[in-house]
Structure 1
Amino acid sequence: MGCGCGGNGSGGGCAGGAAKEVPLDVQQAGVQAFEPVVSEASETEQEQEDEPASGPELIVTSEQEWPRIKVNGVALAQEAIAQELQYHPASTRQEAIFLASQALVLRELIQQRIAELDLKVDVAAGESEEEALTRTLLEREVPLPHADEAVCRQYFERNRQRYASAPLLAARHILLACAADDAEQRSELRDQAEALLAQLRVDGTRFAELALAHSSCPSKEQGGALGQISQGQTVPEFERQLFRLPLGLAGQPLESRYGFHVVWVDQRIEGQLLPFELVQGSIRAELDQRVWQVAVAQYLKNLVSMADIQGIVLDGAESPLMQ
């Protein structure tokens, strides 16, 4: 079993990670309720008599009921709502249908606005034509904000501790490997790790010897040395425990998805506060992104307020963003 720590004495540590562009938060436009669709005036009394009575057009408890929604006269296909449902997990089916319908209404409004402006685009690598058109529309109709230096510096001073270099650790470990779902073996390995700790409390010079004899990590060939480790280089559950440790032998085994780690911290270098000039660009990008997301939400509300939407009630903008 690979431990995933990446420790081999040349640097690194129990490697893991997680890490996408922020999606368009269409849900900020806000759903209030579904509403029944009033029958069209063009229907004759004879047609009403000939056609079977339709069910209610509200969302009800029956799983066979779907909203009947029109956006500026364009009906949303019930099949499309059913397909969109998978992208909107919710505590109830009705809430999920709400969210799926909302997303489709906003998507239709965007597509109608694109058609109205007769936008033409060059599709970039990795994006669909629809994505390219939506990007172009927002670039044209939602002003891109720019935080000035004064705003950036004020944010920097209020969040000083966020802008520091990551601390570094030099550590050794003995990995007693076990599958994450093997509860019985994990219990046994915890006891084994405690026994190793007891031996090391008596004689810490035996760490390399015990690592070679018991560790499942390739780092055992270097006495268990993981090299210098910075934040983000190890699996999260191991990192959270590791970076809280003082120098020396950890008082108890650290558990991760790979098993139990007996750890000795040899060196700890605390992170240093970074100067404003070094982080100004990232601060400006963060603030600009926040303001842009609010502006996009307001733009979507404006589209809603100017549209004829039947079958669902959405919050519209109190005043138009665009004239």
Structure 2
Amino acid sequence: MILSVNGFAVTVDAGQPAELAAARELLRQRAIALALLEPATEDDETVEAAIEALLEKEVVTPVPTDAECRRYYERNPAEFESGDLVNVRHILFQVTPQVNVPHMRVRAEQALNTLLAEPDRFAALAAELSNCPSGEQGGNLGQVGRGDMVPEFEKAVFKFGASGILRDLVKTRYGFHIVAVDLRIPGRKLPFDVVQERIAERLRSQVEERALRQYVSVLAGQAEIEGAHIEASASPLVQ
């Protein structure tokens, strides 16, 4: 691919978008124009440092105000809720390529029926039957949240109303599980002061990305580029 920026031939690495290579060259040339980089410099680390200095000098990113952060907090409540938690125990009947699956399911169903009648035996049967290391702790997986387990297991334990020993086996990619949901802790909305710094960083990153795109667009509007398309803008350079 032939790429040139203001008559300067640019090498495009394999797999690299031409637009990205052109944008970097625009920034390199601007750094040279502002005497932040010697024209003959080829060392990548030096060039990158000069580009960072250029962006710090010419691309101003406003710091989000408390009011802006609070508006984001109020408009996106789901982002700032601590996840639901459950205390879970299980007994795993693992399915492997060598296992007779129907036979394994029958064993699991028999154990489940036993536990529905005698729930106090859960720890003993977990130690005896479970193919999970948690069997040594009575099948206890501790406190888990959404995203901690495989989707099939998560769907079962977070199902509305699920509690105690579930009356059906839970089938996952690992095998058949007998599952007991012992305690459910609903999620709650985190206080604003706990998440304010996270919100400010997110908003700052969004503004920085927009400002950088605009800055490169302005440079492109003043340049001759062949071999790549960068949306150009005639706006003045960001000061």
| Range class of TM-score, shorter chain | 0.7 to 0.9
Q: What secondary structure does 1:313 align onto?
A: coil
Match status 1:297 vs 2:203:
no
Note if contact 1:70-1:311 (Cα within 8 Å) is conserved in structure 2: yes
Alignment of 1:36-185 (within 5 A): 67-77=1-11, 80=12, 83-85=13-15, 100-119=17-36, 128-178=45-95, 182=97, 185=99
Match of 2:40 in 1: none
SS of corresponding position for 1:147? coil
- Is residue 221 from structure 1 mapped to residue 136 from structure 2 by the alignment? yes
**Equivalences, count:** 229
Looking at structure 2, the residues matched to 131 and 254 of structure 1 have their Cα atoms a distance apart, in angstroms, of: 52
Give unmatched runs, 5+ long, in structure 1: 1-66, 88-99, 121-126
Consecutive unaligned residues of structure 2, counting only runs of 5 or more, are: 38-43
Q: Is the 8 A contact 2:89 2:179 kept in 1?
A: yes
RMSD: 2.8
Aligned equivalents of 1:129 and 1:196: distance in 2?
Answer: 67
Quote the Cα distance in structure 1 between the aligned partners of 2:109 and 2:34.
Answer: 70
Shift in Å, 1:144: 1.8
Checking the alignment, whether the CA contact within 8 Å between 1:168 and 1:228 is kept in structure 2 is yes
Q: Distance in 2 between matches of 1:119 and 1:186?
A: 70
Q: Which residue is 2:124 aligned to? A: 209
Per-residue CA deviation, residues 177-210 of structure 1 (Å, 9 max, x unaligned), is 346xx4x749455555444333333332222122
Q: Distance in 2 between matches of 1:75 and 1:190?
A: 66
Match of 1:14 in 2: none
- Matching residue's letter, 2:155: Q
CA distance in 2, matches of 1:306, 1:116: 13
Answer yes or no: is 1:197 the counterpart of 2:151.
no
Deviation at 1:119, TM superposition (A): 2.6
d(CA) in 1 for partners of 2:29, 2:95: 56
Asked whether the equivalents of residues 302 and 321 of structure 1 are also in contact (C-alpha less than 8 Å), the reply is: yes
What amino acid sits opposite 1:114 in the alignment?
A
CA 1:132/1:235 → structure 2, altered by over 3 Å: closer, same or farther?
farther
User: What CA distance in whole angstroms lies between the structure 1 residues aligned with 2:227 and 2:115?
Assistant: 71
The CA deviation string for residues 202-242 of structure 1, in whole angstroms up to 9 with x for no partner, is 3322221221122122221121112222445x345366425
Q: Which residue of 2 aligns with 1:307?
A: 223
Partners of 2:150 and 2:52 in 1: CA distance: 34
